[in-house]
Structure 1
């Protein structure tokens, strides 16, 4: 399963399952592991927030040029 596919599945499940959404908001790594059997690496941090009709979040991903020579694996995050 690709990480983009996992992201889509997590969002869809959160829309359909209120209990999962609450767990995802409280402890995203545990929620993903429990629901999908995917354990995210310890060094990866995940923050889950919920947008509303009047409150949006803009996520600016890392610039690939800033990490191209490093050991970071941005794809692991999403």
Structure 2
């Protein structure tokens, strides 16, 4: 499963399941593990925020040139 596919599934579940959404906002790693069986590695700091009609977030991914890999594509989940 790709990271993008997982993101879509997480968002869809959060829209459909208020208890999951609440858990995702308070403890995202545990919520993802409980719902999808995926362990997010401890070295990854995962933050979940919710946009509103008047508040938006722009997320800048790491610059591939800084990572040394030269590729911005992530095809695997953690």
Is TM > 0.5 for Structure 1 vs Structure 2? Answer: yes
Provide the rounded CA distance (Å) in 2 between the counterparts of 1:63 and 1:43: 19
How many residues align? The count is 74
List gaps (5 residues or longer) in structure 2: none
Residue 15 to residue 50, structure 1, CA distance change in 2 (3 Å): same
Higher RCO (CA 8 Å, separation ≥ 6 residues): 2
Question: Normalised by the size of structure 1, how large is the TM-score?
Answer: 0.86
Q: Which residue of 2 aligns with 1:12?
A: 12
List gaps (5 residues or longer) in structure 1: none
Provide the rounded CA distance (Å) in 2 between the counterparts of 1:26 and 1:68: 33
